[in-house]
Chains A and B, each alone.
Chain A
Amino acid sequence: MTGSSDHDSASALDWSRLMAAAQDGDRVAYDRLLRQVLPFIRAIAARQHRSPDRIEDVVQDVLLTIHRVRHTYDPSRPFEAWLAAIARRRSIDLLRRHGRIGAAETWEAGAYETFADPRANKEKEGRDATSTLGRALRGLPPGQREALELVKLRELSLAEASRQSGKSVGALKVNVHRALKALRTRLKGETS
């Protein structure tokens, strides 16, 4: 325990020295300090946030704040208390911000599927394709639809499909072929 607290106070003293050097314009010290304090900030953020993305948002907010108010740090005072106050404040700010957004907005997946980037619209296109395919399937003659469902959708072998439907393997083959051709024509017509 003593060893660990000695280590902690040594690192706090080190941070204080690094910050004082950073205030004087030492960029190497500033870089070291900002990287060393990351776990400390993450630990504070993790008290209020569960998602790693949110914790990282807090970390970045805290880094920006440290940069903005670094002239307010007094090297004769403990650095940890200064940093912890900033981290707690920013963590709560983010919590409030998300609380406000959550209170005013409702999640609607479809609302996000209107981006210019086609990849962003994938989910919506997937849903649209399912309903188009469903419509096209319903438009097929019953024999062709049954053959397609058994062989392609339920993935039965021709022999099994023949046993279930009571139709010959040859008739199933012909119906599947015709059904696929009809679907291809119909879907091409709908999308063009």
Chain B
Amino acid sequence: MTGATDRLIESLVESAGPVHRLRPPAVRATLFLLAVAALGALTILLFSDLSVFARRASDPKLDWELAGTLLTGIFAVVAAFELSLPDRSPLWALLPLPPFALWVASTGYSCYRHWLAFGPDGWEIGESAQCFRFILAVGVPLGVSLLVLLRKARPLAPARVAALGGLGVAALAAFLLQFFHPFDVTFMDLSVHLVVVGLVTAVSTLAGRTYVR
């Protein structure tokens, strides 16, 4: 053993006190998701027009979209908590990909139908700016609180963990958005949804590089 390593061990041992073990990642992810669910349910009950949503929900394709966004959100958050620990398989990062594909595919199909019905008019910005603000307004506070929780594990690959967390909260925000979205998704909507999800994920990744370590 070199002298420097020996001295390092001595100083680490000297500064070592008892530590609180982190709870298992599945438990931590579940608690976070339950908190989001409670806040989301409250917001929906207080502010959304459920009769409009019920009318839209009668279309089975919306169910696919909802399932895609919700599962992307849940799986990405679970994967972020798992990967914040050193000894978890990197394959966890792939978990949110199937529901993400389902989300994009089902929304894409809606857009296609919308295109057939409305043609180029579907490209108008219209309500899309509203969607942008909504996902950002919900996604950013959720993202900040998630990063605070993920940081407790001092992840070895902070950018990857934060990217998954960002994708998770942006998808959850997009899921909540459906309850405040009185119309089907247009081309522009899909682009805006994906851009803002990408934006939240990118900002989260950057934050991860400096903050989550």
Contact = CB atoms under 8 A, between A and B. Distances in A.
Contacts of B20: 71
Interface residues of B, number: 26
Nearest to A69: B154
A59 B12 contact: no
Interface string A28-43: 0011001100100000
Nearest to A39: B1
Interface of B: 1-2, 4-5, 8-9, 12-22, 24, 84-87, 153-154, 156-157
A86 interface: yes
A82 interface: yes
Contacts, number: 77
Interface stretch (A73-81, A101-109, A121-129): A73-81
B8 A64 contact: yes
A35 B5 CA distance: 10
Interface residues of A, number: 33
A129 B4 CA distance: 36
A34 B84 CA distance: 23
A interface secondary structure, majority: helix
A23 B8 contact: no
A152 interface: no
A67 B11 CA distance: 11
A78 B85 CA distance: 13
A56 interface: yes
Contacts of B157: 89
Contact of B8 (A63, A74, A82): A63
Contacts of A78: 87
A27 B13 contact: yes
Contact of B5 (A31, A56, A90): A56
Nearest to A52: B2
